[in-house]
Chains A and B, each alone.
Chain A
Amino acid sequence: EVQLLESGGGLVEPGGSLKLSCAASGFTFSGYAMSWVRQAPGKGLEWVSGVGGSGSVTYHADSVKGRFTISRDNSKSTLYLQMNSLRAEDTAVYYCAKGCDTLCYRVDHWGHGTLVTVSS
C-alpha cells in the first residue's frame, strides 16, 4: 500500500524558513516523480514543485521560484521542500503527491498534508 507521510509544518514568521519532509513507502520511490501541492485556507489546489525520479529534473511554480527548493533522497525514500523567505500567502496545507512514472507528474496518490502558517 502506498503511504506518504508529511512532516515539518508549523508556525513561522514572515521571512523565515521551514523544511517539509515526506516519507514514502509501499512503492519503489526512485521510480516515480514526486510533487508538492498546496491549498490555502478555503482555496483551491495549487501545484508548487515537482522532481523527477532521479532527482536531476526539478520544476517550481513561478510563485515560489527562487524561494522554495524541492529535492529527494532516494536512499531514504524521502521527499523534501525547503521553503525560504516565507510570506503570508504561503500559508497553506502542503500535500506530498506521487506521480505515475519517473517523469510523469500526474498524481495517483496523495499524503494527508501538513499545515504551514506564516504569521507574526
Chain B
Amino acid sequence: DIQMTQSPSSLSASVGDRVTITCRASQDINNYLAWFQQKPGKAPKSLIYAVSSLQSGVPSKFSASGSGTDFSLTISSLQPEDFATYYCQQFKSYPFTFGPGTKVDVK
C-alpha cells in the first residue's frame, strides 16, 4: 500500500499569511494526487486534482505543485474562511490512501 504523510500536522497562522503544507508519498504516484479542505462538522471539499489543477469554483489563492513523491499546497493569503484541515490523497492505486491531515488554525 502507498503511505501518505503530511507536514506539519498543524500550524498557526494569521490572516494574510502565506501558508504551505507538504505531502509525501511512500512511492512514486506520478500526478495522481488531490487536495481536500474540511471544516469542523462539515463534509470535505475537493480543492485540487492532478497535483495542480483547481477544482471548479476554487479560488486562485490556492495553488499546488510537486511530482513523484513530494507535493505541496500553498494558500497565498490566508483568509478567515481558510482555517480548516487539509488532506492530500493519492489515487494512483488501490487503496486510495489519504494523508493524516494538516490543521490550519488562528495564531
Contact = CB atoms under 8 A, between A and B. Distances in A.
Interface of A: 35, 37, 44-47, 50, 59, 61-62, 95, 100, 104-113
Contacts of A113: 43
Given A47-B97, A50-B96, A104 B91 contact: yes
Contacts of B101: 44-45
A106 B49 contact: yes
Top 7 A-B residue pairs of the complex, sorted by shortest distance between their CB atoms: A106-B91, A45-B98, A110-B43, A59-B94, A47-B96, A44-B101, A61-B95
Given A95-B43, A107-B46, A110-B45, A62 B96 contact: no
Contacts of A61: 95
B98 A107 contact: no
Given A108-B49, A111-B43, A44 B87 contact: yes
A108 B95 contact: no
Given A104-B91, A106-B91, 12 more contacts: A37-B44, A37-B98, A44-B87, A44-B98, A44-B101, A47-B97, A47-B98, A61-B95, A95-B44, A100-B49, A106-B49, A108-B46
Interface of B: 1, 32, 34, 36, 38, 43-46, 49, 55, 87, 89, 91, 94-101
Contacts of A110: 43-46
A109 B89 CA distance: 14
15 contacts: A44-B87, A44-B99, A47-B89, A47-B95, A47-B97, A59-B94, A106-B32, A106-B49, A107-B46, A108-B49, A108-B55, A109-B46, A110-B45, A110-B46, A111-B43
A72 B87 CA distance: 27
B43 A107 contact: no
A35 B34 CA distance: 15
A16 B100 CA distance: 29
Contact of A45 (B36, B46, B94, B95): B36
B83 to A, nearest CB: 17
